[in-house]
Amino acid sequence: MRGRTLGLVAAVLAGALGTVSAQTVTVVHNVNLRPDPSSEYPPIRLLTPSDAPLTLLDPNLESGYYHVALATGDTTGYVWSRYVRVAASPATSATTIQPGPGVPGSARMVGCGDGLWKHVYHPSRLLVLQDCVTVTGTLVDATAHQAHHQADGARHEKDGDTHGWLQVDPQFANLINPGNTSDEEGNLVFEIVCHYTVTQTDAVAACAGFADQTTIPPVGSHVAITGTLVREKNHKQWNEIHPVSRVRREPPS
């Protein structure tokens, strides 16, 4: 029976290698390998960041889980997507966005041509890497580990902006820098400006006469976010889409 099981695993793995170009999955936080995409049944085993990279069997999320195989090739299962990082595959690397060297932001920035940069407070605190990009991925709850959980999954900043998290699709993995990894759980930050009530004194002027009405899809939705790719000059200098011009819900890639 075990020989038959190993044969089936090998067949699944061989098929996956042909369809996703042997994309690898690196564990960035202790995570359980589970027999199905849920926590209903006992895990197969615990995986840690010291384990060898896994092989991605399906690039599409299922209930927030990736289907993977161990490096040994004899075991498959599901891992919670927030605790792993998927490497870009050769097949998708051609569509990867290459950040520029960065220029200081200003209210006169073109961005996506919608005038949102005039509503970015203290814009020079941001380095513009690309004027207008569209990045796809899955919305993650940025408030899950905070004392005040928000229903929309975004932190409600005092400057009126969202502080949301996007777990990017594999072809955009290069946008995740050390700051995103250390302080944003490996997610790309997205900021929709003037989305909430402004309580920060020096940000009031930037949102005067303007209130964003974008609807943020539910956490777990696969979306395409369009806006300016920037790097924070403060904090841990993580990458963001800021300001966001559009959030579009779409089927998994």
Of the candidate ranges 22-26, 47-51, 141-145, the one whose mean pLDDT is the lowest = 22-26
CATH of domain 2-86: 2.30.30.40
Instruction: Please report which confidence band the pLDDT of residue 2 belongs to, taking 50, 70 and 90 as the band edges.
Output: very low
Average model confidence (pLDDT) across the chain? 86
HEC assignment per residue over the chain: CHHHHHHHHHHHHHHHHHHHCCCEEEECCCEEEECCCCCCCCCCEEECCCCCCEEEEEEEEECCEEEEECCCCCCEEEEEHHHEEECCCCCCHHHCCCCCCCEECCCCCCCCCCCHHHHCCCHHHEEEEEEEEEEEEEEECCCCCCCCCCCCCCEECCCCCEEEEEEECHHHHHHCCHHHHHHCCCCEEECCCCCCCCCCHHHHHHHCCCCCCCCCCCCCCEEEEEEEEEEECCCCCCEEEEEEEEEEECCCC
Structural domain spans, the chain = 2-86, 93-249
Each residue's pLDDT tens digit, 154-194: 999 999 999 999 999 999 999 999 999 999 999 999 999 99
pLDDT grade for 253, boundaries at 50, 70 and 90: low
